[in-house]
Structure formats: C-alpha cells, structure tokens
Amino acid sequence: MSNPPRLPAPSLRDLGVINWVFCTVASKRLRVENMHLFATLGQHKRLLKAWLPFAGVLLRGKLPKTDTELVILRVAHLRESEYELQHHRRIARSVGLDDAVQAAIFTGPDADGLTERQRILVAATDELVHTRTLSDATWDRLAQQLDRPRLIEFVTLAGQYDALAATLSALRVPLDYPE
C-alpha cells in the first residue's frame, strides 16, 4: 500500500483490554505481526464487537464455502482490495478453489474453467457490485441455483465485502502480509 494508514497503530488503551487480547490472539493464529483490520476496527470498541459475529455468520453461513469464497474473491477483485485478496486467496485454496479457478473468477463469468453455477455467481456478483441491485433475469438465474435463505445470504455477503473493501481503502488499512 503506497499511502500511509489514516489511523496510527493502536495502543492497549485505544483498543481496550478485550479488543487488544482478541487482536493479539488473531494475529498469532494467522502468524502475522498485526491483524490490521481488527486492530483498526477495534479502535471503535462496540463496532468490532458487533461486526465480528455478523461477519462470522456470513463466513460460516448456508452457502457452500466454495461459493462464499468465490463471491468474496470476485468482490475483492472488482474493488481492487489487496487486503481481502491476501486473506481470501489462501482460504479459497483451502476449500478447493485452486489458482486456476481463482484466475477464472478474476477473468469473469465467461472464463474457461468455471462451472455453470460459478458463472452465475460471478455474473450476479458483478451486477450487484456495479449496479447495487440485480435485474430480474439475473435474479431468476441465481434463484435456479440458490434457495431463499441462500439468495438473501448471497446479496448480504457481496454487500458486506463491498463495504469492507471501501472501509479498508478509505482508512488505508495496512496489509497483514506485506510481501
């Protein structure tokens, strides 16, 4: 990231004991010096505590993990969110989305190497991110793949990661893996 972060690295006092412990444990678990997203959001103590369960429900929701990671990767690619890409490329590999499939996700819905379901999810993600809604035709294609709870989750997941990309960009949150 070429621009400096907008917020200084937080102290224990900035985070409070609970958020400081959480950020420390999360950093050790991920083997990074600082889990910058959590350390940044943790400076608004109530926000981090409210956001974590919401984000967790989306990451472990009703959508298959491969669908969840596909949507996150596509949003991160569209929004050029290197922070999201660094974390979720690793997670996507662990759930079966190898580098070739990830490259196809980044190329778009017409790329070789995607299943029909993946094409529909990529196209719907593109439309939702670009237009902030879904056309009836896209909704109908998506509804052939997803039931009602998963349709709701898809829209919420894409919107959450779009908002997160904006937050990361506006606050200039440093990368956790600066390689």
Q: Do 33 and 105 belong together in one domain? A: no
Residues 78, 41 within the same domain? no
Tally of domains in the chain: 2
Confidence of residue 110 (pLDDT cuts 50, 70, 90): very high
Instruction: Specify whether 69 is located in the same domain as 52.
Output: no
Please check whether residue 2 lies inside any domain of the structure. Answer: no
Contacts for 46 with CB less than 8 Å, ≥ 6 apart: none
Residue with tokens 């959590």: 38
Same domain as 145, residue 103: yes
CA dist 179 and 162 (Å) reads: 24
Residue 111 and residue 30 share a domain: no
Whether residue 147 is found in the same domain as residue 72:
yes
Query: What domain range includes position 90?
Result: 65-170
Task: Check whether residue 51 and residue 80 sit in a common domain.
Answer: no
pTM of the model: 0.94
pLDDT for 59-106, tens place per residue?
999 999 999 999 999 999 999 999 999 999 999 999 999 999 999 999
Do both 91 and 154 map to the same domain?
yes
153, part of any domain: yes
Task: Please list, in sequence order, all residues whose beta carbon lies within 8 angstroms of the beta carbon of residue 75, skipping any fewer than 6 positions away.
Answer: 81, 84, 125, 129, 158, 161, 162, 165
Q: Are residues 52 and 28 in the same domain?
A: yes
Does 70 share its domain with 149? yes
The CA–CA distances, whole Å, from 108 to 22, 95, 137, 138 equal 37, 20, 18, 15
d(CA 3, CA 170): 11
Within a domain: 4: no
- Any domain includes 96: yes
Residues 39 and 83 in one domain: no
pLDDT digits (tens, 9 = 90+) for 119-133: 999 999 999 999 999
Q: Is residue 137 part of a domain?
A: yes
Do 104 and 142 lie in one domain? The reply is yes
Which secondary-structure segment (H or E) carries 142?
A: helix 136-143
